[in-house]
Every structure is written in structure tokens, then in C-alpha cells.
Amino acid sequence: MSEIPQLEQRIAAALERIRAGLDTLPGAEIAETAARADTLAARVSALEAEVSEKGALEAEVSALRDGLARAEQERTEMLDTMQKLQTVNADLRLAAAEGVTDPEAINAALVADLEALQKVRAADLRDIDAILSELAPLAKEA
């Protein structure tokens, strides 16, 4: 990508030389040279548009990668919470099987269950926000 500015400068310099030399050429050559200069200018514009589009795409890819990293972190947190919930529930089942009522185990199970529900709710809200942000431009167009 660092070559593009150099190419643009070289093309711009060539166009200036062409325009400067137009005064010394006969009429038919002037028209042909002017057409070439216009073609070169159009190519430069197309190249600049592609560079701009590439920058926008790179920014979009970066945003998608950030979103993927956040989703992976969220998934890891949810797996940890679910593991904790399963462990606490297993302890609670053992206590119930032994006929022992352990208030601490019941409390730990309820806390783990609440944490899991909160994480699921937060993930659902993030998903809803992502969907709404994608739909907003479409709603504006309609």
C-alpha cells in the first residue's frame, strides 16, 4: 500500500508533463494526448477510490475482530459460570440425597444460578443491540 502514493505522484507528474507538452503538438496529436491524459486521470481516480474502499474494509474487519474477541470472552465467562453452577448443584444434590439440608449450599446454588441468568440476559441484550444497529440503516432507507 505504500507504493500507491508514489504511483499517484508519478502519474500526476506525468500528467503535468503531458499538459505542458500539449502546446508544442499539432492538433491531432493534442487531441490524442488529451484523451490519454483523461484516461490516466480516470485511472488515478479509480485507484484512489479503491484505496479508500480498502481502508473502509480494513476498519470493518478490525471492528468484526474486536466483536469476535468480545464474544469469545463472553463465551468463556458463561462457561465458567455454568461450570460453577453445575458444581454447586451437584453438591446440593449430594446433600439432599443424604437428607441434610445445608443452607450454605442452597444459597451458593441460588447465587450461581442468578449469576448465570444475569450473564445470559446481558448476552441477549448485546445481541439485540447488535441486531438493532444493523437494522437502523435499513429502516432509514425505507
Please determine, for residue 53, whether its predicted confidence score (pLDDT) is greater than 80: yes
Instruction: Considering only CA atoms, give the Rg of the chain.
Output: 32
3 confidence band (pLDDT: 50, 70, 90):
confident
Per-residue pLDDT at 1? 55
**CA–CA gap between residue 27 and residue 24 (Å, rounded):** 10
CA angle 79, 77, 65 (to 5 degrees): 110
Per-residue pLDDT at 29? 67
What is the domain partition of the chain in residue ranges? 3-141
Interval 108-134 mean pLDDT: 86
91 confidence band (pLDDT: 50, 70, 90):
confident
Q: What is the DSSP letter of 25?
A: S
Please determine, for residue 125, whether its predicted confidence score (pLDDT) is greater than 80: yes
**Segment 97-118, tens digit of pLDDT:** 888 777 887 788 888 888 888 8
**Segment 22-43, tens digit of pLDDT:** 666 666 666 777 788 888 888 8
Q: Which residue has the higher pLDDT, 55 or 1?
A: 55
Give the 3-state secondary structure of residue 101.
coil
Per-residue pLDDT at 96? 77
Cell numbers linked to 78: 458463561
Per-residue pLDDT at 22? 63
Closest C-alpha among 8, 73, 7, 12 to residue 37: 12
Q: What is the mean pLDDT of the chain?
A: 82
User: Worst-scoring range by mean pLDDT, 19-23, 71-75, 112-116?
Assistant: 19-23
